[in-house]
């Protein structure tokens, strides 16, 4: 790493020098200001450009670098609440550019991606649902705002995440209302080194042969014996929980202790469905899954 700098430090210094320049800076000027070898700086500029942090413009015979409009630095963990508020405000103002930029800025500021999901994205999903239930927004607006949330989640796809073959998770949404939660969970698990299989909305797969269908999928994606598989089901109804838990518990009887079932929902009434964990929020699911893996790894 250049002069002992971490990548996050280079990002911050780069944003600072570019924001101070209204006319942009050349690669040579940036290298001199940061005290970093020109070839090394060029490599980082190309990486940061791919991530959307900076952009290059040809002005005359000179290539100049600019920081993307709306870029700002945050300080974590103290700024999670600040960004959560700004993110919801951006959603309600229907500012797609600002919504995506806030999450991009969090990434560039060194926020842990799972924390972005649990501290910013998940609360926003809850807030939009509450506003709809209270009649403060209509169905069309709710769907559009959820689409904006999904768009901001997708920018994490450009970031590489390590994968531990011993940690496997299947995510199922029992209805369309929980698709965003399973999408948020997929990102959170991926950046906690889990191998993720997100099946999305499985409401159209509800039939008596579901256990056999899932068994075939498990046979294809879960082949390593020295590993665990956690199946997480998100549902808005007791019926959804009961159906999927019954099907998955039938598979568990054949798969032994390496397969676990988690049910996640904000149902007001306690579910009677059987599972290894019944949780109300994603953070509890992530913590329990990690603890379960650590216990398995010690065996």
**pTM of the shown model:** 0.81
Task: Determine the pLDDT at residue 97.
Answer: 87
Which value, in Å, is the radius of gyration of the alpha carbons in the chain?
Answer: 22
Domain 161-297 superfamily per CATH:
Cobalamin-binding domain (3.40.50.280)
Task: Determine the pLDDT at residue 279.
Answer: 94
Closest-CA residue to 115 (of 54, 195, 3, 191): 191
Question: Domain 2-67, CATH 3.40.50.620 — does that match?
Answer: no
With DSSP H G I counted as helix, E B as strand and the rest as coil, what are the percentages for the chain, rounded to 5?
60, 15, 30
What are the boundaries of each domain within the chain? 2-67, 80-157, 161-297
Beta-bridge partners for 62: 59
Q: What is each CA distance from 115 to 87, 184, 280, in whole angstroms?
A: 14, 11, 17
Phi, psi (rounded to 5 degrees) for 69? -60, 135
Distance CA 110, CA 273 (A): 39
pLDDT in tens, 35-84: 898 889 988 898 888 777 788 888 877 889 988 777 788 889 999 999 99
Task: Determine the pLDDT at residue 1.
Answer: 43
Distance CA 197, CA 285 (A): 16
Three-state secondary structure call for residue 41:
helix
Task: Determine the pLDDT at residue 199.
Answer: 96
Could you tell me if 34 and 41 are in contact, meaning their C-beta atoms sit under 8 angstroms apart? yes
Task: Determine the pLDDT at residue 167.
Answer: 97
pLDDT in tens, 73-122: 888 999 999 999 999 999 999 988 889 989 988 988 889 999 999 999 99
Closest-CA residue to 181 (of 102, 123, 113, 260): 123
Task: Determine the pLDDT at residue 138.
Answer: 96
Q: Along the 299 residues of the chain, how does pLDDT read in single tens digits?
A: 455 567 777 877 888 888 777 788 988 999 998 889 888 998 889 888 877 778 888 887 788 998 877 778 888 999 999 999 999 999 999 988 889 989 988 988 889 999 999 999 999 999 999 999 999 999 999 999 999 999 999 999 878 899 999 999 999 999 999 999 999 999 999 999 999 999 999 998 877 788 899 999 999 999 887 899 999 999 999 999 999 999 999 998 887 789 999 999 887 778 888 999 999 999 999 999 999 999 999 87
Task: Determine the pLDDT at residue 5.
Answer: 65
Question: Domain 80-157, CATH 1.10.1240.10 — does that match?
Answer: yes
């Amino acid at each position: 790493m250049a002069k002992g700098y971490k990548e996050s430090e280079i990002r911050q210094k780069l944003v600072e020098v570019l924001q101070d320049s209204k006319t942009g800076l050349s690669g040579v000027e940036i290298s001199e200001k940061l005290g970093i070898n020109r070839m090394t700086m060029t490599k980082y500029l190309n990486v940061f450009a791919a991530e959307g942090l900076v952009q290059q413009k040809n002005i005359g015979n000179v290539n100049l670098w600019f920081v993307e409009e709306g870029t700002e630095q945050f300080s974590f963990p103290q700024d999670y609440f600040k960004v959560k508020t700004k993110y919801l405000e951006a959603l309600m103002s229907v500012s797609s550019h600002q919504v995506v930029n806030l999450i991009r800025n969090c990434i560039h500021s060194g926020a842990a991606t799972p924390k972005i999901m649990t501290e910013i994205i998940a609360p926003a999903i809850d807030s939009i649902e509450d506003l709809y239930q209270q009649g403060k927004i209509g169905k069309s607006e709710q769907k559009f705002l959820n689409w904006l949330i999904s768009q901001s989640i997708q920018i994490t796809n450009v970031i590489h995440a390590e994968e531990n073959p011993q940690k496997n998770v299947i995510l199922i949404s029992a209805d369309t209302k929980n698709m965003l939660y399973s999408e948020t969970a997929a990102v959170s698990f991926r950046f906690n080194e889990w191998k993720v299989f997100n099946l999305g909305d499985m409401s159209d797969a509800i039939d008596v042969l579901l256990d056999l269908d899932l068994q075939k999928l498990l046979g294809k994606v879960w082949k390593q014996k020295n590993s665990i598989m956690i199946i997480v089901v998100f549902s808005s109804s007791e019926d959804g929980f009961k159906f999927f838990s019954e099907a998955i518990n039938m598979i568990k009887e054949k798969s032994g202790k390496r397969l676990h079932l988690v049910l996640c929902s904000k149902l007001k009434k306690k579910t009677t469905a059987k599972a290894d964990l019944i949780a109300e929020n994603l953070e509890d699911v992530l913590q329990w899954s990690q603890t379960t893996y650590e216990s398995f790894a010690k065996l």
